[in-house]
Amino acid sequence: MTSVKKQTQVRLEEDVLEAGKAAARARSLDFNKYVERLIVEDTTGARAAGMAAAQRLIDEHGDFLDDLEQRLDAPYTDRQPGAAA
């Protein structure tokens, strides 16, 4: 089954466009696919479901995650003996 794609034009502020292109590159997507994915996620409820799941994770395990983050950051925040200032 083939899908027919329609072309449209969108006007964006230059900084918004550059931020979108950078976000697309970070996800290894071309800009069109990135915008398409954002629209699909927003209009199907996928984004809201993902955000709700993330919030549940934080609510249920936030203390553990905070502790883990502190433990992982400790080697970089505590001065090591003999380390250069």
Residue 5, both tokens? 């794609």
Q: What is the pLDDT of residues 27-74, one digit of tens each?
A: 999 999 999 999 998 888 887 888 899 999 999 999 999 999 998 988
Q: Pick the residue with more confidence: 51 or 81? A: 51
How far is residue 63's CA from residue 85's CA, in Å, rounded to a whole number?
A: 32
Provide the pLDDT confidence category of residue 14 given band limits of 50, 70 and 90. Answer: very high
pLDDT tier at 79, thresholds 50, 70, 90: low
At residue 11 the predicted structure's pLDDT band, cuts being 50, 70 and 90, is very high
Number of residues written out for the chain: 85
DSSP string for 22-63: HHHHHTT--HHHHHHHHHHHHHHSHHHHHHHHHHHHHHHHHH
pTM of the model: 0.56
Cα(69)–Cα(4) distance, integer angstroms: 46
